[in-house]
Structure 1
Amino acid sequence: MTATLAEFPGLAARKFGDRTALVTDGREFSFRELDALSGTLAHNLVNLGVEPGDRVTLYAPNSWEWIVSYYGALKAGAVVNPINVMLTPPEVAYVTRDCAAKVLIGSRETVAPVIAAGVSGLINVVFGSNVLEDMVPFDALVAEPRSFEPVKVDPNAMCTIGYTSGTTGHPKGAMQSHRAVATNVAMTAQMHMKTDRDVVVTALPCPHVYGNVVFQAGILCGCTLIMHPRFDAAEILASIEQHSATMFEGVPTMYMYMLASPDLEGRDLSSLTRCTVGGQTMPAAKMREVEERFGCPLIELWGMTELAGAGTTFPLYGERKLGSIGIAMPYCEARIADGQDAAKTMPRGEVGELMMRGPIVMQGYWGNAEATRETIEPDGWLHTGDLASMDDDGAIFIVDRKKDMINSSGFKVFPAEIERVVAAHPSVALVAVGGVPDPLKGEIAKAYVVLKPGATEDADGIIALCRHELAAYKVPRAIQFVRDLPTTSNGKVMRRRLADLDERETQ
């Protein structure tokens, strides 16, 4: 791919014209309209002072304004910083400061609390026209059509800084180039055989790399995207039937909710030709049930923010192995490395760390050379942190995680982030966070707390503190007060033995 992401809307407008590109919140947009709207926004962002390389943070739920803002910022030559709408104002403050954002674009419901929390110095563009004094109304920036030629940038230039949870308690910004994201979008679409005859239903968040690849593949391939602002099983099932969707794309939890929905039996899903699932591994038995009930193949994929999207998947036409995350994406390599020596590749069938190399690998972490060196080897191989095995056909099977990351409904949560917040509670002496199995979410976070002498248990207060400081999916779902924590001889907490505390409590 030599095209930059800023060129995607224009290419689609010339090829697909007035065909429907997006249906969301009761409105329809053609490819030509999305191109015109994003061009008009780019023109006005430049007038507001946005220059090539400036960072523009997007903080809003799925909406047509989000997609227009994404391409408008890119057309202006800016670097997009898409952040999860579930992040709290303190988390948004950290991210915007860390990447030195110049502009914050979002809904009034998301931007106003950030301003109130003390985030200052940004140009605040807010969806709609009814905005506060220190906000720029989005509607005014797209009201009068303007022709705009996208700012020319090198395909290898940075286009995105996507923040991912960090082992140090703060997220890290993965820098991606236009070439990396465009290649990932094109190759994922190729593997799943997307065309302009497809109608794709999704509720995946646009800031998430999975959701990003889905909506951009729609623009690139001419699909009609039926985008929901949030997931609701009954609404999604109705949407598939109403729009005669050919694809649904989601995470395992979504499929499990739909399988359990009383609306499933009464819906006609016969238009579906294939579905995709990613974000976390899905039990093979549940995948078979989806295929039986939905009447189409369910293709698993696996990816990371550091890979601009999918790193592995299966092709639509070819052998699929339920329980496997697939094979390496075109133009990319995957291998299983020895856990002690990353230069050594494990024999087929043996477990080691999954590593990836290719044009989709990030440029590094923004402002964090040390973390970049720890994650990317000098020869380009990326440490994924996942333990896996590879069979003789190159199919990869995730076994466990090398790091202590918790995967809850497809969202990656590092214990250190939660521990950093819980430790600030005045009654807490020590805290360790681990993942415990959950039949619906895969895993949930649980905090094990040692109290300070004389302190009283205050689980509600700890949870309240977490809800203020952390996104909802990071908040621990359980607090257990314990006398001590399992540690090594040098005092390091052994998170893998936290489950022993559960067993001790039940004895």
Structure 2
Amino acid sequence: MNAIMSTLSSRASQRFGDRTALIIGEEQLSFKQIDELAATFAGGLRKLGVKRGQRVLLHLPNGWEWIVAYYAIARLGAVVVPANFLLSIEEVAYMLTDSEAVAVIAPDERCAALERFDQSRNAHLIGMLREGKQRETKSATDFRTLFDALPVEPVEVDPEELFTIGYTSGTTGQPKGAMLSHRCVFTSTALTATVHGRHPGERVVSALPFPHVYGNVVMNSCFLVGMTLITCERFDPSWALQSIQRHKATLFEGVPTMFYYMLVDPSFLQTDLSSLLHCTVGGQTMPTAKIEEIVAAMGCPLLELWGMTETAGPVISHSPYLPHRHGSVGQPFPGVEAKVVDYENPERLLNTNEPGELLVRGPMIMQGYYRNEQATRDNLLEGGWLRTGDIACIDKQGYIRIVDRLKDMIITAGYKIYPAELEQVLASHPAVAMVAVAPIHDEIKGELAKAFIVLKPGMNASESSILDFCRGQLAAYKVPRCVTFVESLPKTSTGKIMRRELRELRA
């Protein structure tokens, strides 16, 4: 099989046919049905003038429509620009302009908002009218009419051709568009499925957003291997637990906060999770105490993984076939190399177990940032090494532990404090459900660490008891200077905790 994405849905149709590919609510679609819909939708896109190599911005919620549109764009050899459905209209408009997209596929009301936001764009607007909504724009093409076209066969492309422009979260300025080839996306999908031992007939529950690289690999793995994907538009812990039990799911995939919410959901103890063979977690580091709590409660292994937009998905992971070390994200995929260097001097290689910036290279690494040569030069080094911005260390057996994000490091009177280290300790407190640590300004020491804690239902703790708990396990300069108890923590559109917004929280 060629390492290309344009033929993935058609090959899945040929191999798995009438098997169920997708379950969302009470609706079910087979691999054959999705491929047939993708073929006609691709014909509709071609009638609008979308050509091979042109960019199409895909801005829909999780659902069969997203999957069909994605494989239709791929079928034409066009370039997918995925935009998370929870992004603001300003963020979507920026991606539209920056990527030079010729078409936008979005709910009708979002098309109307884009019209008002930027009258100068000439991109085709394809509006999906959601049930119970009134049409808000007359200039958009009705999403449903694209299925009236004749089906088209998938084009054969060079594996190195551009397939996706994935925009980063933009935590330090405007988002950057990581250019990912067909080979990048296909290889990440294939190696994830291989390393995790995925096989036909498995049933996967996941509400990860399809536009995110993690959710995208989950979806593509189902079509590559022949698994059934059970999903919903937006994560809800009760839905996840009910879906695992109802469909006898073999796999649940999510980010740490999803697991935290499931553990404290009132229905958790009454839910039958015995069908699960394993779960995967990525997107953010998870404290070891929480991993152990989840493994014990859910009764199956939890495979930690690591990846980023610039790597098209996971490139480091645990495998069910290898020893599992909680607190690490596993080992690099076959064909992927990793090393740790001095972040101030990337040419200086660090020793075993010495923390520094993680660099990776391999067949899944991006081609660069779209129309941003300076950012490409800053992040893609000689020899194909990608600077990840993560502080990590590698042990003698090659297991990689993510210490923290470099940009989240706190400097207290010259001492370096990694928030994730404090979170590891705080998460082991029996009353803590979720925790995040962020800096606060101090006139004398520059920055101090502050902890934001969500307590488990029915549990109580005081600031003094939390700080006493930390003093027994952390050096004095690492102990948080204060604690704020909150009902929830700010999260990104993919469910990751946003440390940069913690400063805005109030007790």
Structures share a fold, TM > 0.5?
A: yes
Structure 2 partner of 1:20: 20
Listed as ranges, the matches of 1:187-266 within 5 Å are 187-266=191-270
- State whether residues 184 and 360 of structure 1, in contact with CA within 8 Å, keep that contact through their aligned partners in structure 2: yes
List alignment gaps of at least 5 residues for structure 1: 409-414, 416-431, 442-466, 481-501
Structure 1 position 297 matched with structure 2 position 301: yes
- Structure 1 moving runs of 4+ over 6 Å: 405-408, 432-435, 471-475
Listed as ranges, the matches of 1:95-494 within 5 Å are 95-118=95-118, 120-128=121-129, 131=135, 132-143=137-148, 146-166=150-170, 169-404=173-408, 437-439=451-453, 476=501, 478-479=503-504
SS at match of 1:6: coil
Given residue 476 of structure 1, which amino acid in structure 2 is its aligned partner? E
Structure 1 partner of 2:476: none
- State whether residues 108 and 140 of structure 2, in contact with CA within 8 Å, keep that contact through their aligned partners in structure 1: no
SS at match of 1:343: strand
CA 1:96/1:405 → structure 2, altered by over 3 Å: closer, same or farther?
farther
Structure 2 partner of 1:425: none
Given residue 188 of structure 1, which amino acid in structure 2 is its aligned partner? T
Structure 2 partner of 1:464: none
Give the Å deviation of 1:296: 0.6
CA 1:332/1:376 → structure 2, altered by over 3 Å: closer, same or farther?
same
Given residue 330 of structure 1, which amino acid in structure 2 is its aligned partner? P
Structure 2 partner of 1:70: 70
- State whether residues 364 and 372 of structure 1, in contact with CA within 8 Å, keep that contact through their aligned partners in structure 2: yes
Distance 1:61 1:11 in 2: 25
Identity percentage of aligned residues? 44
SS at match of 1:323: coil
SS at match of 1:476: helix
- State whether residues 339 and 349 of structure 2, in contact with CA within 8 Å, keep that contact through their aligned partners in structure 1: yes
- State whether residues 77 and 151 of structure 1, in contact with CA within 8 Å, keep that contact through their aligned partners in structure 2: yes
Distance 2:196 2:225 in 1: 11
Give the Å deviation of 1:134: 0.9
CA 1:14/1:436 → structure 2, altered by over 3 Å: closer, same or farther?
farther
The count of corresponding residues between Structure 1 and Structure 2 is 432
Structure 2 partner of 1:452: none
- State whether residues 161 and 182 of structure 2, in contact with CA within 8 Å, keep that contact through their aligned partners in structure 1: yes
Listed as ranges, the matches of 1:36-55 within 5 Å are 36-55=36-55
Structure 1 partner of 2:462: none
- State whether residues 249 and 275 of structure 2, in contact with CA within 8 Å, keep that contact through their aligned partners in structure 1: yes
Output the TM-score relative to the length of structure 2.
0.80
Give the Å deviation of 1:197: 1.9
Structure 2 partner of 1:30: 30
Structure 1 position 94 matched with structure 2 position 94: yes
The Cα offsets for residues 93-151 of structure 1, whole Å up to 9 and x where unpaired, read as 1111111111000122433322222353221112248643111111111246x331112
CA 1:472/1:128 → structure 2, altered by over 3 Å: closer, same or farther?
farther
Structure 1 partner of 2:82: 82
Give the Å deviation of 1:316: 1.2
Give the Å deviation of 1:433: 12
List alignment gaps of at least 5 residues for structure 2: 411-418, 421-437, 439-445, 456-491
Structure 1 partner of 2:466: none
Give the Å deviation of 1:302: 0.9
The Cα offsets for residues 144-167 of structure 1, whole Å up to 9 and x where unpaired, read as 6x3311122211100000111346
CA 1:376/1:24 → structure 2, altered by over 3 Å: closer, same or farther?
same
Give the Å deviation of 1:88: 1.0
Give the Å deviation of 1:440: 5.7
- State whether residues 237 and 265 of structure 2, in contact with CA within 8 Å, keep that contact through their aligned partners in structure 1: yes
- State whether residues 195 and 223 of structure 1, in contact with CA within 8 Å, keep that contact through their aligned partners in structure 2: yes
C-alpha RMSD of the superposition:
2.8
SS at match of 1:203: coil
CA 1:279/1:193 → structure 2, altered by over 3 Å: closer, same or farther?
same
Distance 1:274 1:155 in 2: 32
SS at match of 2:321: coil
Distance 2:56 2:454 in 1: 35
Give the Å deviation of 1:299: 0.4
Distance 1:318 1:166 in 2: 35
Given residue 103 of structure 2, which amino acid in structure 1 is its aligned partner? V
The Cα offsets for residues 366-385 of structure 1, whole Å up to 9 and x where unpaired, read as 00111101101120000001
- State whether residues 253 and 440 of structure 1, in contact with CA within 8 Å, keep that contact through their aligned partners in structure 2: no
Distance 1:111 1:37 in 2: 22
Distance 1:292 1:477 in 2: 30
Give the Å deviation of 1:176: 0.2
SS at match of 1:5: coil
- State whether residues 273 and 299 of structure 2, in contact with CA within 8 Å, keep that contact through their aligned partners in structure 1: yes
Give the Å deviation of 1:438: 3.7
- State whether residues 60 and 110 of structure 1, in contact with CA within 8 Å, keep that contact through their aligned partners in structure 2: no
Output the TM-score relative to the length of structure 1.
0.80
Distance 2:241 2:111 in 1: 32
CA 1:218/1:435 → structure 2, altered by over 3 Å: closer, same or farther?
farther
- State whether residues 357 and 387 of structure 2, in contact with CA within 8 Å, keep that contact through their aligned partners in structure 1: yes
